[in-house]
Amino acid sequence: MIARRSQKIVFSLAVLYLLMLVAAAIAAPLLSPYSPSEQYLDRRFHAPSLDNLLGTDNLGRDILTRLLYGARSALIVGLVAVSIAFSLGGLVGLLAGMGPKHIDSVLMLLMDSLLSFPTILLAITVVSFMGYGLVQVMVALGVISSPVFARLVRAETLSVKTEGYVEAARALGTPPAKIVVKHIIPNIMGKVIVQCSLTFAQAVVIESSLSYLGVGTQPPAASWGLMLKDARNYLAQAPWMAMYPGLCLALTVLAFNIIGDSLSERFNPRLG
């Protein structure tokens, strides 16, 4: 009982943190009077103060402002990447699970081929071909994350379509499309939502990694990865430059993982 109550508290805190992060990202222009890209060279390396609550960076830019706008980039990348991965992977998974054996084999071979590459290396390769920028990162992350959704949706579809109510619907002559919409999708959405949460966290990490390597979000736009890249040469002189974006990144990923784990236990009670 105590453990379950503690899990609920942790889950609530994770949801509360993400809600506050989303609200702060949306209200960024209202919460900070500074521009995320405007440089104030006379304010370089200012420690946290009333004028700059979290200090300034090597170009005099306000850290808090760049954190808020960086949260926008992280959340937008996660949302778009998950949407692309869910749509593409879900469609492939449904086709593989409901279609004939030869289509299943071809589609899964394609998905397994994508999964055989290290995620970050494949992301760098795709972005390099498409060009650097936030849009390219979102598309790349959506494509490389789709095989996970495809395999999940296929496995769940194969399981659900053998249930008695699906067999009965098929025997009554219900069209396959109606069976998918009415019976398959509602019964697999629980686990898909869990995967969406975990993929969101992964997308935030990879976007920051790509930005840190210089192939993601490009200056002067704000990104947590870019902030960490700028801070690497000033860790002793201005530790706050790395501390705050690193903390935001860690807390955001932790919150999504907590939510994903909690939802997984809810939809799979035997695992809890």
The 10s digit of each residue's pLDDT in 180-215 is 888 888 888 888 998 999 999 999 999 999 888 888
pLDDT band at 3; cut points 50, 70, 90: low
Structure confidence at residue 82 (pLDDT) = 94
266 or 2, which is more confident? 266
Is it the case that residue 2 has pLDDT exceeding 60? no
CATH number, domain at 58? 1.10.3720.10
Q: What mean pLDDT comes out for the span 216-232?
A: 88
Nearest-5° Cα angle at 151, 148 to 156 = 125
Give the CA radius of gyration of the chain.
Answer: 22
Task: Give 216's DSSP letter.
Answer: S
What is the extent of the structural domain holding 188? 2-271
Structure confidence at residue 267 (pLDDT) = 67
**3-class SS at 56?**
strand
Q: Which amino acid is at 8?
A: K
Please give the structure tokens belonging to residue 231: 């801070």
Taking residue 249's Cβ as centre, other Cβ atoms within 10 Å add up to 22
Name the average pLDDT for the chain: 87
pLDDT exceeding 70 applies to what percent of the chain?
97
- Residues 15 and 5: their CA atoms lie apart, in Å, by 15
Residue 246 near residue 235 (C-beta atoms within 8 A): no
CA–CA distances in Å: residue 86 to residues 50, 73, 83, 148, 268: 44, 20, 5, 9, 20
pLDDT band at 268; cut points 50, 70, 90: low
- Residues 198 and 214: their CA atoms lie apart, in Å, by 25
- Total tally of structural domains belonging to the chain: 1
- Residues 15 and 256: their CA atoms lie apart, in Å, by 8
Residue 18 near residue 256 (C-beta atoms within 8 A): yes
The 10s digit of each residue's pLDDT in 47-92 is 888 888 898 999 899 999 999 999 998 999 999 999 999 999 999 9
pLDDT band at 272; cut points 50, 70, 90: very low
Nearest 10 degrees: Cα torsion 72, 78, 84, 88: 180
